[in-house]
Homo-oligomer: A and B are copies of this chain.
């Protein structure tokens, strides 16, 4: 049973990528439907047929982000030692947030920290995504503590929150124009302080 009716006139992955970049760079409320349809090269009606609403499109774009440019934390927690997890997490964050081909910063931070009352569901969804990041690192560092990979008495969940705070701070700074080279020096500094390292 082949597909019936007129085939799509655009490539879904490509136009969703365009939407992701717009929301990432200008935020949910800072991006208008006209901005989107113009940049995506598709008609308003086609967009609504595919995603139902602006919020629906945003959710699809956000999903694409966390599965693409924002997926590096999942790679980081695969590293064999806690130090390597922290190093990979922070360095990949800075590399991603200052990639010349992408908007600056982390989409989950940049796209909607605050908003009008109408967009609160979007803001809350972003906050929820950020909390998932803390949980991901917490689980990994709890395991590290069990494996004796952290100094005795170190608090895995506090360390996870600390790393994520640094990450989000780098997003803010990258969005504000701080360069990759400078941010990487901040990372070097943080890694020098990692527990168990000579200080």
Residues of A within 8 A of B (CB): 25-27, 29-32, 35, 105, 109-111, 113-117, 119, 126-127, 130-131, 151, 155, 157-159, 161-162, 164-173, 175-178, 182-183, 185-186, 188-190, 192-197, 199
Contacts and interface: CB of A to CB of B under 8 A. Distances in A.
A69 to B, nearest CB: 16
Given A169-B164, A172-B168, A173-B165, A113 B113 contact: yes
B193 A165 contact: no
A195 B192 contact: yes
Contacts of A105: 113
Contacts of A159: 189
> For chain A, what secondary structure do more than half of its interface residues adopt (helix, strand, loop), or is it mixed?
helix
Given A158-B188, A185-B161, A177 B127 contact: yes
